[in-house]
């Protein structure tokens, strides 16, 4: 018998000026245009003696969330990893005084209709 393992993905994205690092079992091109769908978020076991406050904050922020949609232009990186790591929030380095303005994602035709 072969053991079937589900893939684990590390997703890095920017949210409110901070870099979020989450682990999930499912990453898909969302049904909503311009969004990546992240589902089955993974967090460390609560039964451990040591509690990581950053991971607990993320777990509280995403409690009750089955899947989340992240804008494509805020995704920094998606990696398939062998095992789950520690989810965390970090400040974005080098962008202390600049806030990125969201750019609309245009279809390949440049947003023009073919009329």
37 pLDDT higher than 90: yes
- What confidence tier does 114 reach under pLDDT thresholds 50, 70, 90? low
What are the backbone dihedrals phi and psi of residue 57, each rounded to the nearest 5 degrees, phi first? -65, -45
Sign of CA dihedral 51, 55, 58, 63: negative
Strand bridging mode 8-15 / 18-29? antiparallel
34: left (phi over 0), alpha (psi -120 to 50) or beta: left
pLDDT band (50, 70, 90) for residue 101: low
Backbone angles phi, psi at 114, to 5 degrees: -95, 45
CB 15 within 8 A of CB 87: no
User: If pLDDT is split at 50, 70 and 90, which confidence band does 71 have?
Assistant: very high
- pTM for the full model? 0.70
Query: In the CATH scheme, what is the code of domain 8-91?
Result: 2.30.30
């Amino acid at each position: 018998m072969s053991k079937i393992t589900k893939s684990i993905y590390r997703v890095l994205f920017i949210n409110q000026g901070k870099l979020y690092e989450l682990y999930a079992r499912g990453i898909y091109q969302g049904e909503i245009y311009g969004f990546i769908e992240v589902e089955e978020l993974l967090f460390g076991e609560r039964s451990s003696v040591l509690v990581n406050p950053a991971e607990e904050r993320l777990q509280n922020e995403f409690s009750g969330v089955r899947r989340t949609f992240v804008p494509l232009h805020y995704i920094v990186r998606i990696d398939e990893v062998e095992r789950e790591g520690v989810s965390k929030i970090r400040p974005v380095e080098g962008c202390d005084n600049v806030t990125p303005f969201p750019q609309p994602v245009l279809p390949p035709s440049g947003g023009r209709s073919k009329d």
